[in-house]
Amino acid sequence: MHELARTQPETGRSAGWPQPTAGGLALGLARSNEELEAIQRLRYQVFTEEMNAVFPDTADGLDSDRYDAWCEHLMVQEIDTGRVVGTYRLLSPANAKSAGGYYSESEFDLAGLGDLRREIVEIGRSCTHADYRNGAVIMLLWSGIASVVRQLDLRYVLGCASVSLRDDGAAAAEVWRRARDTMAAHPDLPRLVPHHRYPVERLDSVLPARVPALIKGYLKAGAQICGEPAWDPDFNTADFPVLLDVERMDARYRRHFGMV
């Protein structure tokens, strides 16, 4: 692993930011087949065993697809044990071209991005081990994303934010209500059109619901939802297209991730 950062529980504490438990964490980029396999095994544990997602390319306890070969893979490991406890993958514009497109294009028509797509790094396949869902791992991963974006000198980050439909669409309804209001207030935002649109007219649920933590984090950082959700039958989720303009990121996040 090419290490980018590490966090020890007894040092580097910052008020307001979650801290790791146990013996500390290391963030880096996967640099071997063994490390990629460990990442794919974690993804299988979270997506298939925990979330019951069904992928056509899943085999031998590994979640893999054709995009993996073209992506940079961020990984967070326990320093003491080497166990992989979090991951994201990133696809640059150049590698997306070689791969035949972004993964997001399997769900959305990206024509609305126009020339922006030349400056986009796509993020996806985010997951965190159940032992580390206190925020520490995701903040390390986001710092890794910031590092790669700086290195590639890109401006935008694109991803698909998934909302489970197991609650009859209550959480997705809350996300869509907020997204719809924001999009109406910012008509200049790019609009991405889903290939298999989830019927948002069914999202009029009045059940109490919260915006999922990951989406809430994206929005707090300054990201925008820029279209109606697509339906992902593998995960049984409504997937919202999310775009972050790094130059308009919330100032607190820019400082934290060294982007000022």
The pairing of beta strand 120-128 with beta strand 156-164: parallel
87-143 tens-digit pLDDT? 999 999 999 999 999 999 999 999 999 999 999 999 999 999 999 988 889 999 999
Residues 231 and 196: beta-carbon distance below 8 Å:
yes
pTM of the model: 0.89
Domains and CATH numbers, the chain: 2-256 (3.40.630.30)
Confidence of residue 166 (pLDDT cuts 50, 70, 90): confident
Residues 70 and 102: beta-carbon distance below 8 Å:
no
Residues 238 and 227: beta-carbon distance below 8 Å:
no
In the three-class reduction of DSSP (H, G, I as helix; E, B as strand; rest coil), residue 230 is classed as: strand
Q: Does 18 have pLDDT greater than 80?
A: no
The residue type of 194 is P
Cα(157)–Cα(91) distance, integer angstroms: 10
C-beta neighbour count of 210 within 10 angstroms: 11
What pLDDT, on the 0 to 100 scale, is given for residue 108? 97
Task: State both tokens at 144.
Answer: 């890794």
What pLDDT, on the 0 to 100 scale, is given for residue 14? 44
What pLDDT, on the 0 to 100 scale, is given for residue 203? 72
The residue type of 196 is H
